[in-house]
C-alpha cells in the first residue's frame, strides 16, 4: 500500500473480549442484550479488598480454559508462567480477535502487522515475595533491608519481573501472532483506549502497516490493586442486590465497582479488508486525547471536553452527527458529574449517553475497548445499549441517559474514557451493518 495516502480508511474486522459477561463475541453479546451483569461476589479473589468482596470477575477465565481453549500452541502454553492475569487476558483477547477476523496467518507480510496495546501498572501478589522477604528478617523478626541483596533477591523467581511489566502484553501478542510491524504499549490506565486507537490509526494511515492488533487489558480487582482502589476511590456496594452495585449516572449512585477484563480489535485498511472478503464491524474515524491536571488533581470535565473536540476534529465529524456517547460512567458522585459537565461543555447535552460499567465494572486499561465492543454489538441490533442499573437518572447532570435499549438508525458513536488524574481520550466509530 502507498505510504503517501494520508486518508486511508480504517475498519474493524475482528473483535475479541475477555470480560465478566463472557469470553468471546458471542457470549459477551448475548449477556449484553439480555441485560445480565457480571458483577457479584468474587470467587477466585478470596482476599480482595473491595466492599464485601464484590467486583466484575471474569469467572470463566481459568488456567484450565487458557490451556485448553485459548492458548492452543505449545509455545503459547509455555509462556503462561511468564504472565500475570492481566497479560493472560490481553493475549487471549488478541488471539480471539484475530480468529474472529478470519485473517489467514500467511496471507500478509509479517512486517505489515503491528500491535498497539494498553495496560495498567501491574502489581504482584504478596505471596510472590513471601519467601525472599522471610529470608531478610533480623533476630527480632523485623525486615532488615541490608539483607535484601545477599539473602532476599537470590530467592526471587528468576523471571519474576517479566510477569508484571506493562509492555509485556504487546510483546507476547507480537510473538504469538508473529507480527513484525510497529509494536507499542500505552499505559494511561482507563484513558489508554482512545490513545491506543489513535496511535494505531496514525500507523495505518501513514502506510506503515496494513493490519494493527489494538487493545487493552487490566484489572482493578486483584488484591494489591483493590487495596489501592479502597484507599483512593469511592467504591459502591448494593448489599441486597450486588449485581446492581454499579449505578452510572443514577441519583442513588454510591461509587464505582472494580473489575477485570480485556478487549481487542483488528484494524485494517478498508481496501485490504474488502479484498479478502472480511466481515467489517465498523469504521474508525478518529480519536483524540487530553490531560488537564492541577496540584489538587485532575480536571476531568475539561479533559473530557477537550478529548471529544479533538476526536471530532480528527474525524471531520460534527457533534450533531453523533448517534450516542458511550461514556466512562463510573457510578461515582463527583466523577459522573464532572464527565457529564464535560459532555455538555463539548455540546453533547442532547446526545443520548450510555455507560457499560454496570455490566463489568471498571477494568482499567481494558475498559474502553469493552465499551466500544458493547456499542458495536448493540448497534448490530439497531439499538443503543442501556445504562444498566440506572433507574433514576440524575436530572441535575443535564444529559440524556439511556436507561433501556433504545432503537436507533444512527450508527455513529463516541466512546469516552478518563483516568482520575485528568487524562481523557475519545474515539469515534461508525458501525457498518453486515
The reply to whether 3 falls in a domain is: no
Which grid coordinates are listed for 265? 480489535
**Using CA atoms, how far apart are residues 388 and 248, in angstroms rounded to an integer?**
8
**Domains identified in the chain, total number:** 1
Burial of 144 (0-12, 13-18, 19+ CB in 10 A): middle
The pLDDT assigned to 298 comes to: 79
Helix axes of 333-345 and 300-315: crossing angle, nearest 10 degrees: 40
| pLDDT tens-digit series, residues 358-399 | 999 999 999 999 999 999 999 999 999 999 999 999 999 999
Which CATH number do you get for residue 382? 3.40.47.10
The reply to whether 270 falls in a domain is: yes
The reply to whether 142 falls in a domain is: no
Percentage of the residues of the chain whose pLDDT score is greater than 70:
99
The reply to whether 292 falls in a domain is: yes
The reply to whether 151 falls in a domain is: no
Which grid coordinates are listed for 293? 491536571
- For cell 457498518, name the residue: 432
The reply to whether 425 falls in a domain is: yes
| pLDDT tens-digit series, residues 190-236 | 999 999 999 999 999 999 999 999 999 999 998 888 888 888 889 99
Q: Is the confidence at residue 94, as pLDDT, over 50?
A: yes
DSSP code per residue over 405-417: -EE-S--EEEEEE
Question: What pTM, to 2 d.p., does this model score?
Answer: 0.94
Q: Identify the domain containing residue 202 by its residue range.
A: 10-123+163-431
Is residue 353 within 8 A of residue 325, CB to CB? The reply is yes
Residues in contact with 121: Cβ distance below 8 Å, sequence separation at least 6, in sequence order: 166, 187, 189
What's the N-to-C CA distance of the chain in angstroms?
26
Which range (4-13, 153-162, 180-189) has the least confidence?
4-13
| pLDDT tens-digit series, residues 137-182 | 999 999 999 999 999 999 998 888 889 999 999 999 999 999 999 9
Which grid coordinates are listed for 418? 478518563
β partners of residue 384: 406
The reply to whether 148 falls in a domain is: no
The reply to whether 4 falls in a domain is: no
Amino acid at each position: 500500500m502507498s505510504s503517501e495516502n494520508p486518508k486511508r480508511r480504517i475498519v474493524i474486522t475482528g473483535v475479541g473480549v475477555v470480560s465478566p459477561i463472557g469470553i468471546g463475541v458471542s457470549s459477551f453479546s448475548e449477556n449484553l442484550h439480555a441485560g445480565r451483569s457480571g458483577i457479584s461476589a468474587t470467587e477466585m479473589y478470596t482476599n480482595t479488598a473491595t466492599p464485601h468482596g464484590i467486583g466484575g470477575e471474569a469467572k470463566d477465565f481459568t488456567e484450565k480454559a487458557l490451556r485448553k481453549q485459548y492458548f492452543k500452541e505449545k509455545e503459547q502454553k509455555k509462556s503462561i508462567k511468564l504472565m500475570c492475569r492481566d497479560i493472560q487476558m490481553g493475549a487471549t483477547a488478541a488471539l480471539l480477535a484475530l480468529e474472529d477476523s478470519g485473517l489467514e496467518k500467511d496471507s500478509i507480510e509479517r512486517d505489515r502487522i503491528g500491535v498497539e496495546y494498553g495496560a495498567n501498572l501491574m502489581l504482584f501478589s504478596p505471596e510472590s515475595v513471601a519467601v525472599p522477604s522471610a529470608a531478610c528478617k533480623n533476630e527480632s523478626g523485623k525486615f532488615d533491608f541490608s539483607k535484601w541483596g545477599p539473602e532476599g533477591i537470590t530467592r526471587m523467581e528468576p523471571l519474576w519481573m517479566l510477569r508484571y511489566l506493562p509492555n509485556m502484553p504487546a510483546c507476547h501478542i507480537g510473538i504469538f501472532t508473529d507480527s513484525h510491524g510497529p509494536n507499542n504499549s500505552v499505559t494511561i490506565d482507563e484513558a489508554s483506549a482512545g490513545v491506543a486507537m489513535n496511535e494505531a490509526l496514525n500507523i495505518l494511515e501513514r502506510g506503515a502497516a496494513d493490519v494493527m492488533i489494538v487493545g487493552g487489558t487490566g484489572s482493578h480487582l486483584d488484591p494489591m490493586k483493590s487495596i489501592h482502589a479502597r484507599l483512593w476511590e469511592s467504591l459502591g456496594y448494593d448489599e441486597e442486590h450486588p449485581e446492581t452495585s454499579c449505578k452510572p449516572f443514577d441519583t442513588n449512585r454510591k461509587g464505582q465497582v472494580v473489575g477485570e477484563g480485556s478487549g481487542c480489535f483488528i484494524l485494517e485498511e478498508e481496501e485490504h479488508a474488502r479484498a479478502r472478503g472480511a466481515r467489517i464491524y465498523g469504521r474508525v474515524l478518529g480519536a483524540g486525547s487530553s490531560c488537564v491536571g492541577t496540584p489538587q488533581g485532575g480536571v476531568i470535565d475539561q479533559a473530557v471536553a477537550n478529548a471529544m473536540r479533538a476526536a471530532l476534529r480528527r474525524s471531520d465529524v460534527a457533534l450533531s452527527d453523533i448517534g450516542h456517547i458511550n461514556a466512562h460512567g463510573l457510578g461515582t458522585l463527583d466523577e459522573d458529574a464532572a464527565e457529564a459537565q464535560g459532555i455538555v461543555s463539548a455540546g453533547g447535552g442532547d446526545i443520548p449517553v450510555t455507560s457499560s460499567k454496570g455490566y463489568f465494572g471498571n477494568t482499567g486499561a481494558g475498559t474502553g475497548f469493552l465499551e466500544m465492543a458493547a456499542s458495536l454489538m448493540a448497534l448490530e441490533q439497531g439499538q443503543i445499549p442501556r445504562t444498566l442499573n440506572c433507574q433514576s437518572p440524575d436530572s441535575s447532570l443535564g444529559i440524556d441517559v439511556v436507561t433501556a435499549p433504545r432503537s436507533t438508525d444512527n450508527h455513529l458513536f463516541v466512546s469516552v474514557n478518563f483516568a482520575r488524574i485528568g487524562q481523557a481520550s475519545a474515539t469515534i466509530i461508525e458501525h457498518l451493518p453486515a
